[in-house]
Amino acid sequence: MSEPAASSDLKRPLRGSPETSAQHEPEPEPRSYLALSIFSCFCPAYPINIVAFVFSIMALNSYSRGDIEGSRRLGRNALWVAVASIMIGLLIIGIYCVVHFTTHAL
**Tens of pLDDT, residues 22-39:** 566 777 889 999 999 999
Burial of 97 (0-12, 13-18, 19+ CB in 10 A): exposed
What SS3 class is residue 34?
Answer: helix
The tens digit of pLDDT for each residue in 49-92 reads 999 999 999 999 999 999 999 999 999 999 999 999 999 999 99
Residues 48, 89: Cα–Cα separation, whole Å: 10
The contacts of residue 8 (CB under 8 Å, 6+ apart) are none
